[in-house]
Amino acid sequence: PEIRREDYKPFPWLVPETRLDFDLGLDSTRVRSRLTVVHNEKSPRSSTIRLNGDGLTPTSVKVDGEVSRAYVMDGDDLILTLDDNAHEIAIETEIDPSANSQLMGLYASSGMLCTQCEAEGFRRITFFPDRPDVLSTYTVKMSGPKALFPILLCNGNKVAEGEDGENHWAEWHDPWPKPSYLFALVAGDLVARTDRFTTMNGREVELNVYVRDGDLERTEHAMESLKRSMKWDEEVFGREYDLDLFNIVAVSDFNMGAMENKGLNVFNTKYVLADPETATDGDYDGVEGVIGHEYFHNWSGNRITCRDWFQLSLKEGFTVLRDQLFSQDMGSEPVKRIEDVRVLRGVQFPEDSGPLAHPIRPDSYREISNFYTSTVYNKGAEVIRMMKTMAGDEAFRKGTDTYFDRHDGEAATCEDFVKSIEDGAGLDLTQFRLWYSQAGTPKVTVELAHEGDEAVLTLTQTVPDTPGQTDKKPMPIPLKIALFDRTSGKHSGEELIVLDKASDTFRFGGFAEKPVLSINRSFSAPVTIQRDIAGEDLVFLAAKDDDPFARYEAMQDLMVGHLVPAAKGELSDETREAGRKDIVGALKAVIEDESLDDLMRGELLSMPSQTYISEQIEAADPGRIFEEREALKAHIGSALKDELHRLYERAEKVPYSMSAEAKGARKLKTLILVYAAASDPQKAAELAAHQYDHADNMTDRQGALMVLTGIDSAERTGKLIDFYNRYEGNALVIDKWFSLQAMSLHPQVIEHVKALADHEDFTMKNPNRVRSLYMAFAANPHGFHAASGEGYRMIADLILELDPINAQTAARFVPALGRWRKMEPARSALMREQLERIAAAPKLSRDTFEQVTRSLG
Ligand code: ARG
Ligand code: ZN
């Protein structure tokens, strides 16, 4: 059944107190719950209470101490009759954590027990009103064998503990009322890195990062990131931590990145463990970003939570924005902005233009897990970022202060957030609210004319139709622009214009000559820009724009403007030559520009991804795009051979450190190998093997191996074997080993992936491992889009095999096949055929069923 946003009703009961008692065991855990329930004044009086369950059988049900026969099961839910306004409900259940392969609820992960309750996992532990608007104060007693579970953790503070023969127990109390999705417990044999943080008002907080024995040395970066997050949230958003203890636990079997459970964040090991030998610079950034993200949820998510799951972007969009701003402040602001836009365009734009498009605040769903999407998260962040851009930093802060003051302790809505920003920042967001209800990426068409001494800018917007939504209204689109004087190469100041009509004209005086337009600077709005701009103007902006993002964009546009017509077979030999000349000239200028740091230089030298190019083409032929992209890469590699070589030699001299300079040097080295691999594979193999052998860090080693996996050479096999032997037993690094081979440009990549699926280290039970092989493969256009359709069949087989084991993870592979409408006819039919094959399977999870039906449209 479909759940609709407009059907929201408050729950008829409040649950002021929840007591849970766990007898922990890997194969059998007994859960006794005691809930105090009282009639909710905001709802009509009800004589029953619905307690959600998922696969549970109650072993005892009592109301006010008496065994109750007045309950019925309605599907998985338990419904009790209650005749008064206040009661105590006591229920016992028994669960088997080791049989829980869905990794939702209470499950076992390499000998320890942990939980994941968001969104609807708590109902797999005990019967409860498992919805985010029911807030309760939790007291939890956990007991279990001391030898197996020396560490017992839960939300809040430990208030008592004791021993009982072979068993021991701990009682935890969380003073902050919370919804069930924020509940967590962990029991296992863990060790901690411990530190302290003193908050702005002098609260002494104990910090722990719990990992398995042997991983402790790799937790320093996580701990430092946590302390930086705590400080940053005080300084930038005025938010202080509110308990005396903050625990992080790393687990190796986890469906997502991490989870913000109150006072007890549970993390995928991927976002905790890092050291130079085993983690790349990208991995380091990932740890910092996710640690920040989960910590920031303490206010945007926990202190103020969501009324219902349609409001998910209230906490996720806002928290993603907060983690992005945090990472911008910790490292390079423009490079972080470029990375975030790349994710948005690479994942969210395709989602928004496909069968799974939905507004950042969806209107309906069958399975909420399917709505933890790039749209809710990343577009959600962009929408709030636009408010910040329109308000300015100071007024925006007043808006967020208003939000936190007004709604602290509540389960709020996106509307509450917008209203708070509106009132606090002094903006009128009436029309802006359309960004919450309309799906689809707006397209802005740009025309610049020159009349007398005026530059005349005409902007037109269209919001494309998406499933269930047509005839959309124009939205306010804030665009930062600058008009450059061609002769001086300067502009007289950036301006913010807001396009809020279908079409509008803006005039700028004082231009004797037609200026060069720089638009959507710093990516001020999540839209696509269609600009009619001469190649020479793009070359100008790529060399001179003082907004780093706009400069990057000009460089990308220059290459996309060449590759799109090339892939469509629309380039004459002459235009191809001219286009290549422009691109090479612009890249050369970037190599030689001494004002650039290498991190930014690396961005400017990067080619647009295959996905991004294919998004610009109707009925795209991945094979053609791939060929053209490789051909341009090879051309650049040989045309700039000497320049790139000198750059490599310079970068090679920079010793390992986490400074921006050293990170930039590492980024350049691998990028240069990528170009070399296209233009002179044998030379590149030698260079890459050398980089591999001499690497004193994972960034260099992985980069070299990545390049080698695509070149048929003796070095390829040797280094792959070496890498495996070197890191055998380190799951996160072995994941890289799987990924590198699945992402490779090697002609036999399909055979390689099939063989890897039979490798003894491969398992369907571990989501990181599954993703390392198959997500990497599904993102490899060269493998996934093989003309035979074999890649599509492999992903469909995977979905069918994984669905009964881990539905959430299985469903995440469906969108790759859902792109069928965008492909050339032959591939389109092959993709659709696989979706139909999945749809016809006898027993599909709700997760996969919903994604497949929506994808077929
Ligand atoms: N709230 C978590 C985060 O954003 C994500 C948890 C999603 N879990 C899930 N099973 N869908 O960090
Ligand atoms: Zn989140």
Tell me if 146 sits within 8 A of 169, measured CB to CB: no
Residue nearest to atom 1 of ligand 1 (CA): 259
Tell me if 141 sits within 8 A of 168, measured CB to CB: no
114: CA distance to ligand 1 center in Å? 15
Residue nearest to atom 10 of ligand 1 (CA): 118
262: CA distance to ligand 2 center in Å? 13
Phi-psi region of 792 (alpha: psi -120 to 50; beta: other; left: phi over 0): alpha
Confidence of residue 531 (pLDDT cuts 50, 70, 90): very high
pLDDT above 70 covers a percentage of the chain that reads 100
Which pLDDT score, from 0 to 100, does residue 70 have?
85
Rounded-to-integer distance, Cα 461 and Cα 652, Å = 47
Which ligand places an atom closest to the C-alpha of 115?
A: 1
Residue nearest to atom 2 of ligand 1 (CA): 259
Which pLDDT score, from 0 to 100, does residue 561 have?
97
Residue 154, pLDDT above cutoff 90: yes
Residue nearest to atom 7 of ligand 1 (CA): 118
Which pLDDT score, from 0 to 100, does residue 68 have?
87
Residue nearest to atom 3 of ligand 1 (CA): 259
Residue 847, pLDDT above cutoff 90: yes
Q: Which amino acid is at 531?
A: R
Q: Locate the ligand 1 atom nearest the alpha carbon of residue 372 and give its number.
A: 11
Cβ neighbours, 10 Å, residue 249: 27
Which DSSP state fits 97? Answer: G
- Closest residue by Cα to residue 810 from 826, 822, 795, 823: 795
Q: Locate the ligand 1 atom nearest the alpha carbon of residue 121 and give its number.
A: 10
259: CA distance to ligand 1 center in Å? 6
By DSSP bridging, strand 503-508 and strand 454-462 are antiparallel
255: CA distance to ligand 1 center in Å? 8
Which pLDDT score, from 0 to 100, does residue 514 have?
97
Residue 427, pLDDT above cutoff 90: yes
Which ligand places an atom closest to the C-alpha of 260?
A: 1
What mean pLDDT, rounded, does the chain reach?
Answer: 98
Q: Which of 120, 171, 260, 294 is catalytic?
A: 294
Q: Which of 259, 314, 322 to mutate to test the pocket of ligand 1 (most atoms within 8 A of CB)?
A: 259
Cα 301–chain centre separation: 16
293: CA distance to ligand 2 center in Å? 6
CB-based burial of residue 147 (10 Å sphere; 0-12 exposed, 13-18 middle, 19+ buried)? exposed
Rounded-to-integer distance, Cα 737 and Cα 81, Å = 56
Rounded average pLDDT over 836-848: 98
Rounded-to-integer distance, Cα 603 and Cα 336, Å = 10
776: CA distance to ligand 2 center in Å? 23
Q: Which of 117, 118, 312 to mutate to test the pocket of ligand 1 (most atoms within 8 A of CB)?
A: 118
Residue nearest to atom 11 of ligand 1 (CA): 369
Residue nearest to atom 5 of ligand 1 (CA): 259
ipTM of the predicted assembly exceeds 0.95:
yes
List Cβ neighbours of 64 (8 Å cut-off, separation of 6 or more).
87, 88
Dihedral angle at the C-alpha atoms of 646, 647, 653, 655, nearest 10 degrees? -170
| HSE (side-chain half, CA atoms, 13 Å) at 562 | 30
Give me 370's structure tokens.
């399917």
Which pLDDT score, from 0 to 100, does residue 513 have?
96
Q: What is the rounded end-to-end Cα distance, in angstroms, of the chain?
A: 17
Which ligand places an atom closest to the C-alpha of 267?
A: 1
Tell me if 238 sits within 8 A of 201, measured CB to CB: no
Instruction: Name the one residue in this structure whose structure tokens are 């029309």.
Output: 431
Instruction: Name the one residue in this structure whose structure tokens are 């636990």.
Output: 249
Residues contacting ligand 1 via CB (< 6 Å): 116, 118-119, 255-260, 293-294, 316, 369, 372, 808
Which pLDDT score, from 0 to 100, does residue 724 have?
98
Rounded average pLDDT over 4-13: 98
Neighbours of ion ligand 2 (CB under 5 A): 316, 319
804: CA distance to ligand 2 center in Å? 26
Read off the pLDDT of residues 739-783 as tens digits, 9 standing for 90 and up.
999 999 899 999 999 999 999 999 999 999 999 999 999 999 989
Peptide bond into 119 cis (omega under 30): yes
Read off the pLDDT of residues 552-574 as tens digits, 9 standing for 90 and up.
999 999 999 999 999 999 999 99
- Closest residue by Cα to residue 623 from 344, 827, 484, 772: 827
Rounded-to-integer distance, Cα 172 and Cα 139, Å = 6
CA distances from 140 to 94, 120, 137, 157 (A): 16, 19, 10, 10
Residue 69, pLDDT above cutoff 90: no
Give me 402's structure tokens.
């208003």
- Would you list the DSSP string of 585-602? HHHHHHHH-TTS-HHHHH
Which pLDDT score, from 0 to 100, does residue 711 have?
95
Rounded-to-integer distance, Cα 293 and Cα 797, Å = 34
Which pLDDT score, from 0 to 100, does residue 467 have?
98
Phi-psi region of 392 (alpha: psi -120 to 50; beta: other; left: phi over 0): left
Q: Which amino acid is at 668?
A: L
Rounded-to-integer distance, Cα 310 and Cα 375, Å = 13
Q: Locate the ligand 1 atom nearest the alpha carbon of residue 116 and give its number.
A: 10
Confidence of residue 579 (pLDDT cuts 50, 70, 90): very high
Phi-psi region of 422 (alpha: psi -120 to 50; beta: other; left: phi over 0): alpha
Instruction: Name the one residue in this structure whose structure tokens are 């190796």.
Output: 252
Residue 717, pLDDT above cutoff 90: yes
Read off the pLDDT of residues 440-494 as tens digits, 9 standing for 90 and up.
999 999 999 999 999 999 999 999 999 999 999 999 999 999 999 999 999 999 9
- Closest residue by Cα to residue 381 from 316, 455, 453, 452: 316
**Rg of the Cα trace of the chain?**
28
Which ligand places an atom closest to the C-alpha of 812?
A: 1
Q: Locate the ligand 1 atom nearest the alpha carbon of residue 319 and give its number.
A: 4
Read off the pLDDT of residues 239-250 as tens digits, 9 standing for 90 and up.
999 999 999 999
Q: Locate the ligand 1 atom nearest the alpha carbon of residue 293 and give its number.
A: 12
Which pLDDT score, from 0 to 100, does residue 782 have?
87
Q: Which amino acid is at 694?
A: H
Q: Locate the ligand 1 atom nearest the alpha carbon of residue 255 and give its number.
A: 10
Which ligand places an atom closest to the C-alpha of 266?
A: 1
182: CA distance to ligand 2 center in Å? 12
Q: Which of 256, 261, 300, 378 to mutate to test the pocket of ligand 1 (most atoms within 8 A of CB)?
A: 256
Q: Which of 122, 372, 850 to mutate to test the pocket of ligand 1 (most atoms within 8 A of CB)?
A: 372
The answer to whether residue 760 is catalytic is: no
118: CA distance to ligand 1 center in Å? 6
